Amino acid sequence: MTLHKEGHKTIALSTILFGIINVLSFYFLSSTLPIVSLLVFIITFGLLLFLISFFRVPNRQLTVNENAIVAPADGKVVVIEEVLADEYFTDRRIQVSIFMSPLNVHVNRNPVGGEVVYSQYHKGKYLVAWHPKSSTENERHSVVYLKEGKEILVKQIAGALAKRICNYLQAGQAVNQSEEMGFIKFGSRVDLLLPLNAKILVKIGDKPQGGVTTIATW
């Protein structure tokens, strides 16, 4: 396991703050209120471990399969439905949405290899990630991949806690399947808009792993 580059500054600052708080706690409280001093240490140490865990990048055997569309994120499948596309596409598509809790791995990965033909950031609201309108009204970044004449769209969507979407892709860029596309801080969701003839291999409630689990084939 490694730590993601997006977390280096946050973890460094948090570690310094952890040290300062506990030095002060030990100096002022340990002799008179040792239990309080111990609780301060336990709580701050737990928060520090949470931050480190949040930015983890586990070692995985990533999926590379010409016919597969792999999960772009860890989390829980909360939506599988046919929708009328509202961005880039004008036709009907199958939407698969993956909700990411703060406990999930937050690296986002390319569901397919190919060419990035569209990459667009949108300002927006911070509705809870499972809100039906979060896909269209929240802050988000949309990417369209072109592979052998077929296209899919992936949306990184901010939520009530997620206030920063990182995306590393630009239009015209060639990418490989399961490599990093971006990172979302502190929980949110990722939507995929797939062709209607895609064969969906997951169901509501499934918990895919980003870059590993095959969501669909085409």
The second-level CATH assignment, the architecture, of 68-217 is: Distorted Sandwich (2.70)
More confident position, 210 or 139:
210
150 and 67 Cβ atoms separated by less than 8 Å: no
CB 40 within 8 A of CB 19: no
Give the catalytic positions in this structure: 188
Give pLDDT, residue 130. 54
The position carrying tokens 């709580």 is 43
Per DSSP (E only), the strands in the chain are 2-3, 56-57, 68-70, 76-84, 92-100, 107-109, 114-122, 140-147, 150-157, 165-167, 174-175, 180-184, 188-194, 199-200, 214-217
Most confident among 7-11, 27-31, 50-54, 174-178 (mean pLDDT) = 174-178
Span 167-195, pLDDT tens digits: 999 999 999 999 999 998 776 889 999 99
Separation of alpha carbons 184 and 190, rounded Å: 9
Q: How far apart are CA 10 and CA 1, in angstroms?
A: 18
Torsion angle (degrees, nearest 10) of CA 128, 129, 130, 135: 110
pTM recorded for the entire structure: 0.85
Amino acid at 50: F
